[in-house]
Amino acid sequence: MTAPVEVTPREELRVVGTSVVGHDFEEKVQGALAYADDWRMPGVLHGKLVRAQLPSARILSIDASDATKLPGVRAVLTAADVPLNEVREEASGLGLQPVSMPVLASDRVRYHGEPVAVVAAEDPAVAERAAELVIVEYEDLPGVFDPEAALEPGAPSVHEDGNGLVTWRFERGDVEAAIARADHVVEGTYRTHHVDHAYMEPEAGLGWIDPNGVLTLRVSTQVIEHVREIARILGLPTTRVRVMGTYMGGGFGGKEDMTVEPYLALLVWKTRRPVRMVWSRQESLLARPKRHPFVMRYRTGVSGAGEILAQDVRIVGDAGAYPLLSPRVLFAGGVTACGPYRAGAARVVAVAAFTNNVPTSAFRGFGAMQVVFGYESQIERIAEAVGLSSKEVRERNFLRQGDPLVTGEEAETHVGAPECMEAALGALGEAVRRPGAGHLRRGVGLACNIQPYGRSRYIGDKAQCWIGLERDGSVTVRAGVTDLGGGQAASLGQIAAEVLGADPSRVAVHIGDTALTPLTGGTFATRQLYMSGNAALKAATELRGRIAPVAAELLDVPVDQLEFAQDQVRIRTNPARFLSLGELARAAEDQGLLPQHLGTFIAEAGEFDPRTGRGKTFPDYTYGCHACEVEVDTETGVVRVIRYVACHDVGRAINPVRVEGQIQGGAVQGIGYALTEDVAIDDGVPRSSLFADYLIPTSMDVPDVQAIVLEIGPGKGPFGARGIGEPPIAPAAAAIANAVADAVGIRITSLPISPERVLDALGRGPAVGDFSG
Amino acid sequence: MTRRAVSFELNGLPAEVWVEPHRTLLEVLREDLGATEVKYGCGEGVCGTCTVLLDGESVNACTVLAVQAAGHTLTTVRGLATEGQVHPLQRAFLQHGASQCGFCTPGMLLVAEEFVREHPSASRDDVRRALAGNLCRCTGYTKILDAVQAYVADGDR
Amino acid sequence: MYADPFDYAAAGSWAEAVDLLRQGGEEAKVIAGGQSLIPMMTLRLATPGLLVDVNGADASRIERHDGRIVISAVTRHADLERSPVLATECPMLAEAASLVGNVRVRHRGTIGGTLAHADPAAEIPCAALVLGADITMLGPEGERRVPAAAFFDTYYTTALRTAELVTAVEIPVPPKDAGWSFLELLRRASDFAVVAVGALVTLDEGGRCVEARLAAAGVGERPVDLTEAAQALVGERVEDPAVREAGRLAGAAVEPSAAVHASSGYRRAMLEVFVRRALLQAAERARGAAA
């Protein structure tokens, strides 16, 4: 069933669709905005974690006596001090057997960097020295560091019940029969790597006990709803804990799981003092969850005309030592593994395996990113096999509205990938492509993608937003969203301003406080515009509906003659007759009608059967296409991106400049993922935890990104918007790999596309693998 | 390890702190002087979030000792605005959407201001090179370059 | 994130610095720009008991005396980059300085500091080697001077003795008709080089090589003088296959270790490529200088 989407025409919108600058940005450019580590409290203690130095070991003893003796040390806590030492999230949402993660490792450690103890001291330098003085005695245990090896019989067990965390199976049609019928069977194995979010703001927070005895944490987090887990760990009622989210210095999924929260909570509760904690950059690189490495094995059956008859995909993802959000990441990867393309029959098996590597969890793109490298490399190979251009192969196979996905559910809204491809290729302009000189070769490549927005339907997602009109006509918005820097708060203000006719400067948005703002669910899964945006739209629309009759009566016109604009409610055909919003608010109050409203948005529900792999999964998808030109130095293997165009169909851009910014920033993160970023881990131990060695792109390493924002197919967000937070990171690696193939005729199937790997593929590389020196 | 008095000028005002020599300028600015606009990002001198101007030249506050700032002039991003008016470069950042999470923004603004002061007719590629030492994880740099270029082009600045 | 406490003394002269270092003994370290030392301390990789700050011991200074350029040890990379003396007399050093770290590092970091730190992947030590610089040191025993070739020992280790420090660098002005090149391979802008190569080439009127000097960084435990690998070029035209052969010889002469993002074999292979590129560029500049 395709639900009709009602969309207000652009010309009737006043605030939505314009690039209003949010208040927070004015604070940011002046350096005035207080991030998590910028808050101060008198008498604060400083927390520091003691982290495991081995990837797999039994803890024999922990000796904190030297640490405790250091002047200024106020607490050294270990597993025995944690009331309930487990984070037990059943991340699949389907009642799978959960595996718990300790807050502090008790009997054994499962990855290098796992927290073992936590120290609080009067001075941060003392806390750091004390943490070094906590002596942990280990017995080395065998570990397993490759996800496929982890699933082999006899592999060292990371957890008692074995190394298989989750296996998703999706199947539609008879894949084997379709492959038997195919003219070509194109096979490929693709491997991706560990990468770090590398947000500029390291994990940080401040905790204290407020006058009501409520344990209060002000932290940089995407998810204030972790308040429930924090309360559970401490054995407190949820209402005895309060979490306030600060404006984040970037998150990208890396602040979706808890970071400093449980440690701050423990230290505050034990010491009854305010406690501050910030993780060093090196700690963050060492031990924060990374993006999942995937091994993706594709077998694609195609007809002689290039039609995809069957997709057979097996994905194994490295979950690292603990579950975190791996089940959902593999779910999203599995659902989208066939890309924005039809397949006569399809089967996807997506497995998450435990290893003794650093855990992996949410990261912008969330599984649906890695698979783009798989399916878009396959498209190029199909094109080679059938002798068509890859553009033609895409055109012949693009998913269309109403077509089934691998789960059997339909693509419910417009699939804008074809228009995005036309626009991106048009902007890149094939004519400007020119051969490089000598050892420099140029090539162009493209990649399309499909990225879900919103959480899996069976989770039953909800969000609330409260909007009130003040007696002076200004507007208050309260919502529990957290703001990553993408303007999540400001967008809600724009929506409220649009509906109520208020000037955006007269709208105040209060966010991210479990005690005072209605909960919206965290900022992840590109869900906030869809969820809290719709909640804000509902709240504003319902509020307007409630107070409009008051205005209609005073202005003596029917309600449908009113318009809300310019801080007024007025008669559409006679704007000279109006009430100010303040007058309306006061008139409503005089009638005993409070001009405030709590809006609730409940996402479309749907059933999914994990045994058959069929049913409804995500609410909707955003589509895109990126195209680029690269230059390959055939003597060094260095790949430079010369030009880059990124196009997405966003349905409706609530704030065009911010949408462009999401696209440009996402694309550059994708370029870093493709070419330079790599958390290199040897047998569970990172080769480096220096930020200097984690190569996120600088301004010199990337070209300008031309962002093309299409508003073609209305989505399910407010005003027909589609989510745009995650989609733009995903196509870059495949687009660049395809451009490299175009330039030098070699296909890189493992990321990153490092100079050394390119040189090897060109047959000019040295004998590699000697990293031990 | 004895403390000593260190005085310098911070954003046009005299500042005096009583510090031990092992403390970095970053720590002292943030913890003793409330200059939290100077951000900790890596502690290695790589990321640029702790950029301040020392006698008008950009430096990493994380790789300078506070005692080494004695007698010098320091400018943080809060020193760019004059009489409550945001600096034209800050305005350009706002107009062009050059700030997302905002964590790199103070350092980025200071390095850009310094560079354009020294190179008033810098090209886009000059600016690209000048900002290469300041990492941004949100914007992909395009809108930052747009903003600085617009500032260069704005003759009134 | 926090350095261990240490004593600190700012020296007003080189002699005073030596005196302070002598009193501090093995626990004492010199701080100039601090761009390597301070992160090492806050990352808790170095815990000196005393820092002797030499920023006030001398001024940033780049002067030409007869055939030599004399540079005080506290001269910042940024000063090398924009020095009018170097721009005309020794552009290679200005170029090498412009490739050091990021702009903030170049504003603080000093030539003496990077030489004494002796990171084998650093640019300035490599340039000092190929330019035949002499390094002036002052210690309790007085002043001495050693050629760069004798200064670098192994990783982060030099000829400096206890309580001795670098006070100046002297570079013979390269002949006017010499062509130069300083190239490096980066994984990312502003980083340490995977490999860096400096080359200085003099040609005769017929375009044949009279002298070729070569040095590289990132390919061993210290910056490596590779002039021998270029000896076969003398008397020849600086072009393929001779330059390719010089690259091959250079590669055979080194034993690079693996770095986080580059294997040993890749570093050697890149040395071969960059020796060739640097020699070709230097020869082209030499021809330009003659024209």
Does residue C45 belong to the interface with chain A, where contact is any CB pair within 8 Å? Answer: no
Closest approach of B80 to chain A, Cα-based (Å) = 8
- Return the pLDDT at A445: 97
Q: Phi-psi category of A56—alpha, beta or left, where left has phi over 0 and alpha has psi -120 to 50? A: beta
**Separation of alpha carbons B100 and A658, rounded Å:** 8
Peptide bond just before A752 cis, omega within 30 deg = yes
Which residues in B lie closer than 8 A to residue C190 (C-beta atoms)? 46, 132-133
Option in C34, C102, C103 nearest B65 (CB): C34
Pairs of residues, one from chain A and one from chain C, whose beta carbons lie less than 8 Å apart: 81
CB contact under 8 A, A281 and B97: no
Residue A360 DSSP one-character state = B
C 198-257 near A (Cβ less than 8 A):
256-257
Best mutation target, A756, A757, A759, to test chain C (most C CBs within 10 A): A756
Q: Which residue type, as a one-letter code, is found at position A746?
A: I
Q: Which residue type, as a one-letter code, is found at position A163?
A: N
Option in C5, C53, C104 nearest B51 (CB): C104
CB contact under 8 A, A661 and B86: no
A303-322, pLDDT tens digit by residue? 999 999 999 999 999 999 99
Q: Which residue has the higher pLDDT, A522 or A757?
A: A757
CB contact under 8 A, A124 and C268: no
Closest approach of A31 to chain C, Cα-based (Å) = 20
CB contact under 8 A, A124 and C187: no
- Return the pLDDT at A5: 45
Does residue B133 belong to the interface with chain C, where contact is any CB pair within 8 Å? Answer: yes
State the pTM of this model.
0.97
- Return the pLDDT at A438: 84
Stated as kind and residue range, the H or E segment containing C8 is strand C7-10
CB contact under 8 A, A678 and C261: yes
**Among chain A residues, CA nearest to B126:** A700
Lowest-confidence region among A493-497, A522-526, A567-571, B141-145 = A522-526
Does residue C260 belong to the interface with chain A, where contact is any CB pair within 8 Å? Answer: yes
Asked if the model's pLDDT at residue B90 lies above 60, the reply is yes
Closest approach of C67 to chain A, Cα-based (Å) = 38
Closest approach of A77 to chain C, Cα-based (Å) = 21
A574-580 and A108-109 beta bridge pairing = unpaired
CB contact under 8 A, B103 and A702: no
A211-221, pLDDT tens digit by residue? 999 999 999 99
- Return the pLDDT at A10: 75
Pairs of residues, one from chain B and one from chain C, whose beta carbons lie less than 8 Å apart: 93
- Return the pLDDT at C263: 95
Residue C147 burial by Cβ neighbours in a 10 Å radius (0-12, 13-18, 19+): middle
Option in C188, C258, C269 nearest A676 (CB): C188
A130-142, pLDDT tens digit by residue? 999 999 999 999 9
CB contact under 8 A, B128 and A699: yes
CB contact under 8 A, B57 and C39: no
- Return the pLDDT at A435: 60
Does residue C231 belong to the interface with chain B, where contact is any CB pair within 8 Å? Answer: no
**Separation of alpha carbons C87 and B85, rounded Å:** 41
Cβ(C204)–Cβ(C210) below 8 Å:
yes
CB contact under 8 A, C189 and A701: yes
- The percentage of chain A sitting over the pLDDT mark of 90, rounded to a whole number, equals 88
Does residue A772 belong to the interface with chain C, where contact is any CB pair within 8 Å? Answer: yes
Lowest-confidence region among A7-11, A399-403, B51-55, B122-126 = A7-11
Q: Which residue type, as a one-letter code, is found at position B142?
A: T
Number of neighbouring beta carbons within 10 Å of residue A560: 9
Number of neighbouring beta carbons within 10 Å of residue C107: 25
B 94-153 near A (Cβ less than 8 A):
94-97, 99-106, 109, 128-129, 131-145
**Among chain A residues, CA nearest to C2:** A125
**Separation of alpha carbons B147 and A25, rounded Å:** 14
Cβ(A365)–Cβ(A726) below 8 Å:
yes
Confidence of residue A591 (pLDDT cuts 50, 70, 90): very high
The pair of three-digit structure tokens given for residue A508, joined into one six-digit string:
């105040």
Contacts of C259 (CB under 8 A, 6+ apart): C121, C194, C218, C267
Closest approach of C256 to chain A, Cα-based (Å) = 8
**Separation of alpha carbons A475 and A469, rounded Å:** 5
C65-89, pLDDT tens digit by residue? 999 999 999 999 999 999 999 999 9
Chain C partners (3+ C-beta pairs within 8 A): A, B
Give strand ranges (E) for C85-223: 134-139, 142-147, 152-154, 157-158, 165-172, 179-185, 195-203, 209-217
Contacts of C45 (CB under 8 A, 6+ apart): none
The pair of three-digit structure tokens given for residue A448, joined into one six-digit string:
């399309």
Closest approach of C62 to chain A, Cα-based (Å) = 30
Stated as kind and residue range, the H or E segment containing C103 is helix C103-108
Does residue A440 belong to the interface with chain C, where contact is any CB pair within 8 Å? Answer: no
A37-85, pLDDT tens digit by residue? 999 999 999 999 999 999 999 999 999 999 999 999 999 999 999 999 9
Option in C188, C257, C263 nearest A756 (CB): C263
Which residues in B lie closer than 8 A to residue C105 (C-beta atoms)? 45, 60, 63, 133
CB contact under 8 A, C8 and B59: no
Confidence of residue A731 (pLDDT cuts 50, 70, 90): very high
CB contact under 8 A, B77 and A31: yes
The pair of three-digit structure tokens given for residue A279, joined into one six-digit string:
């993780």
The pair of three-digit structure tokens given for residue A764, joined into one six-digit string:
């000019």
Cβ(A114)–Cβ(A108) below 8 Å:
no
Does residue C24 belong to the interface with chain B, where contact is any CB pair within 8 Å? Answer: no
CB contact under 8 A, A691 and B47: yes
Chain A partners (3+ C-beta pairs within 8 A): B, C
**Among chain C residues, CA nearest to A682:** C260
Angle between helix axes A370-386 and A732-744 (nearest 10 degrees) is 30
Asked if the model's pLDDT at residue A4 lies above 50, the reply is no
**Separation of alpha carbons C122 and A261, rounded Å:** 41
- Return the pLDDT at A769: 37
A243-276, pLDDT tens digit by residue? 999 999 999 999 999 999 999 999 999 999 999 9
Sign of CA dihedral B1, B4, B7, B10: positive
- Return the pLDDT at A95: 65
CB contact under 8 A, A772 and C4: no
Cβ(A527)–Cβ(A468) below 8 Å:
no
- Return the pLDDT at A1: 35
Q: Which residue type, as a one-letter code, is found at position A21?
A: V
Closest approach of C273 to chain A, Cα-based (Å) = 7
CB contact under 8 A, B58 and C107: yes
Best mutation target, B30, B38, B60, to test chain C (most C CBs within 10 A): B60
- Return the pLDDT at B1: 62
CB contact under 8 A, B63 and C1: no
Residue A434 burial by Cβ neighbours in a 10 Å radius (0-12, 13-18, 19+): exposed
Which residues in A lie closer than 8 A to residue B132 (C-beta atoms)? 698-700
- Return the pLDDT at B9: 98
**Separation of alpha carbons A391 and C46, rounded Å:** 57
**Separation of alpha carbons A717 and A722, rounded Å:** 6
Closest approach of A705 to chain B, Cα-based (Å) = 6
End-to-end CA distance of chain B: 46
A 281-320 near C (Cβ less than 8 A):
282
The pair of three-digit structure tokens given for residue C272, joined into one six-digit string:
């071969």
Q: Which residues of chain C have pLDDT under 70?
A: 291
Asked if the model's pLDDT at residue A157 lies above 90, the reply is yes
Q: What are the CA-CA distances from residue A558 to residues A5, A183, A571, C107 (Å)?
A: 26, 67, 9, 70
A650-697, pLDDT tens digit by residue? 999 999 999 999 999 999 999 999 999 999 999 999 999 899 999 999
